[in-house]
Amino acid sequence: MIRNIILVLLTIISFQAAVAQEVSTKPNPWTGKSDAELRKIADELAHKYIITDGHVDLPYRLETKNFRLTKEFIGIPVETTEGDFDYVRAKKGGLDAPFMSIYIPSSYQETGGAKEFADSLIDMVRGIADAHPDKFKIAFRSSDVEANFKKGIISLPMGMENGAPIGDSIQNVEYFYKRGIRYITLTHGKDNLICDSSYDTTRTWNGLSPFGREVVREMNRVGIMVDISHVSDSAFYQAVALSAVPCIASHSSVRAFTPTFIRNMNDDMIKFLAKKKGVIQINFGSSFLDQKIRDNQDQKREELRELLDKKGLKMNDDAAKPVIEDFRKKNPTLYADVEKVADHIDHVVKIAGIDHVGLGSDFDGVGDSLPTGLKDVSQYPNLIYSLLKRGYSEEDIAKVCYKNVFRVWDRADKYAKQAKDRAKRSAQGN
Ligand SMILES: [Zn+2]
């Protein structure tokens, strides 16, 4: 008996030692490289491998600028000083497949017109690709991205941020698949007909609605990835448990670094997502990265409100604009830096493994809050450099840059194909 206990104990100890050894003695493949050499390698890897990004808000940014597909505007996505994304900067940074966010503000849930608005943004992205066939192409599956990558063309896959355009009609899921949508973020800032939002306090459904459960199954059936960024914790657990294929978080960061910000994912959620073979794509916005920055921003916002109050002004008043501008100049927002993004990636790797993390910058969506060293799409090599310094291997970098997300995307495709085949067989059988 005692001998058996000792044997068990010895086995446990040696197992733990083996695990610890694997973590601590994994050799750093870059030992002996100078800083300049590592920078060069980072830049090479950024271009050698596909980089996909889960969330780039170019369509909505252009929409707010009254973008039209006319000569006057058509150069904007190619080279511009505005915003965080354009072709020239994407090429410099090695970005090959930014998921274009078809973002539907939750106000459309009240006013109606969400579907029409989604269609107009999809048309815009398609129009950009049609206008520059040598530079951009819509991608519908990972093999499209690979083919475009070989030709030096930037792929524009599309994801829809907010399921509101589905309305109450399940047929719209397939409609949007046919229009090119390859992931749907179930909701955005408010609870919708599908599920609850992390930003809302109503908790209308305590997670997914009965219709939302139908939507998740239908997304699986047609081949649209389930994106759980923005949803409440309960909606997250229910959607990930229900989905027949792994899920993504297209642009979420790690809550351990921002305890009060429940829009990010806690460790248990990250582990559950990983257990189901999903991927969290890290958001670069400074307020997603660091609680100190969040607190400071809250305090500054409060100070600004008091200042405007004293002058009898409201935030949206025209007369408030110069006051706000002046205040901003005197109180520059604090920025995180690229190392902090690497910290978030590291954290996911430590608790869930290298196969479950990717990039979801939120470029063009988080305003002037991007970290130093990751200000726009030309700067991905800086992040790769940070990871190389931490001993990430070439294969690790490839996984973070695209392989993990492509695994989920391919799985969603395969499941949909099998579902179609099953339906065909059973129709023939009847
Ligand atoms: Zn978002």
Q: How many domains does the chain have?
A: 2
Is pLDDT above 90 for 413? yes
Helix (H) or strand (E) holding 143: helix 142-150
Q: Is residue 9 in some structural domain?
A: no
User: 392 and 296: one domain?
Assistant: no
Q: Is residue 12 in some structural domain?
A: no
- The pLDDT of 143-171, averaged and rounded, is 98
CA of 230 to the centre of ligand 1 (A): 7
Is pLDDT above 90 for 147? yes
Q: Is residue 277 in some structural domain?
A: yes
> For residue 3, what pLDDT is reported?
54
Is pLDDT above 90 for 318? no
CA of 119 to the centre of ligand 1 (A): 19
CA of 376 to the centre of ligand 1 (A): 17
CA of 21 to the centre of ligand 1 (A): 39
User: 120 and 220: one domain?
Assistant: yes
Q: Is 132 exposed, middle or buried (0-12, 13-18, 19+ CB in 10 A)?
A: middle
Q: What is the DSSP letter of 208?
A: B
CA of 314 to the centre of ligand 1 (A): 26
> For residue 300, what pLDDT is reported?
85
User: 343 and 317: one domain?
Assistant: no
Q: Is residue 26 in some structural domain?
A: no
Q: Is residue 20 in some structural domain?
A: no
Is pLDDT above 90 for 234? yes
> For residue 13, what pLDDT is reported?
46
Note whether 159 and 182 are within 8 A (CB). Answer: yes
Rounded to two decimals, the pTM is 0.89
Q: Is residue 251 in some structural domain?
A: yes
Position 130, amino acid: D
Work out the pLDDT band at 301, boundaries 50, 70, 90: confident
Is pLDDT above 50 for 262? yes
Is pLDDT above 50 for 156? yes
Is pLDDT above 60 for 181? yes
CA of 189 to the centre of ligand 1 (A): 8
Work out the pLDDT band at 428, boundaries 50, 70, 90: confident
**Token pair listed for 367:** 């305003």
Q: Is residue 13 in some structural domain?
A: no
Is pLDDT above 90 for 146? yes
Note whether 346 and 390 are within 8 A (CB). Answer: yes
CA of 251 to the centre of ligand 1 (A): 7
Q: Is residue 27 in some structural domain?
A: no
Q: Which of 314, 335, 356 is the last residue of a domain?
A: 335
> For residue 429, what pLDDT is reported?
77
CA of 268 to the centre of ligand 1 (A): 21
The answer for residues whose C-beta is within 8 angstroms of residue 290's C-beta and 6 or more apart is: 257, 258, 336, 340
- The pLDDT of 252-263, averaged and rounded, is 97
Instruction: Outline where DSSP puts E strands in 250-318.
Output: 279-282
User: 269 and 414: one domain?
Assistant: yes
CA of 89 to the centre of ligand 1 (A): 22
234: closest CA among 260, 284, 184, 272? 272
User: 344 and 331: one domain?
Assistant: no
CATH number at residue 388: 3.20.20.140
> For residue 10, what pLDDT is reported?
47
User: 313 and 382: one domain?
Assistant: no
CA of 340 to the centre of ligand 1 (A): 20
> For residue 20, what pLDDT is reported?
41
Per the prediction, the chain carries an average pLDDT of 92
Is pLDDT above 70 for 282? yes
CA of 250 to the centre of ligand 1 (A): 8
Per-residue DSSP letters for 46-86?
Answer: HHHS--EEEEE-HHHHHHHTT--SSHHHHTTTTS-SSSS--
User: 357 and 274: one domain?
Assistant: yes
In percent, the amount of the chain with pLDDT more than 70 equals: 93
CA of 188 to the centre of ligand 1 (A): 7
User: 312 and 393: one domain?
Assistant: no
Q: How many Å apart are CA 159 and CA 181, to the nearest integer?
A: 5
User: 265 and 307: one domain?
Assistant: no
Position 46, amino acid: A
User: 312 and 385: one domain?
Assistant: no
- The pLDDT of 161-188, averaged and rounded, is 98
Report the Cα–Cα distance between both ends of the chain, in Å, rounded. 62
Q: Using one digit for the tens of pLDDT, what is the confidence trace for 15-63?
A: 444 444 444 457 899 999 999 999 999 999 999 999 999 999 999 999 9
> For residue 22, what pLDDT is reported?
42
CA of 323 to the centre of ligand 1 (A): 28
CA of 19 to the centre of ligand 1 (A): 37
User: 217 and 201: one domain?
Assistant: yes
> For residue 86, what pLDDT is reported?
96
Q: How many Å apart are CA 183 and CA 409, to the nearest integer?
A: 9
**Token pair listed for 380:** 């991905």
Q: Which of 306, 335, 364 is the last residue of a domain?
A: 335
389-403 per-residue burial string, b: 16 or more CB within 10 A, e: under 16: bbebbeebbbbbbbb
The answer for residues whose C-beta is within 8 angstroms of residue 72's C-beta and 6 or more apart is: none
User: 295 and 262: one domain?
Assistant: no
Q: Using one digit for the tens of pLDDT, what is the confidence trace for 89-105?
A: 999 999 999 999 999 99
- The pLDDT of 308-322, averaged and rounded, is 89
Which domain covers residue 326, as residue numbers?
291-335
CA of 229 to the centre of ligand 1 (A): 7
Note whether 231 and 184 are within 8 A (CB). Answer: no
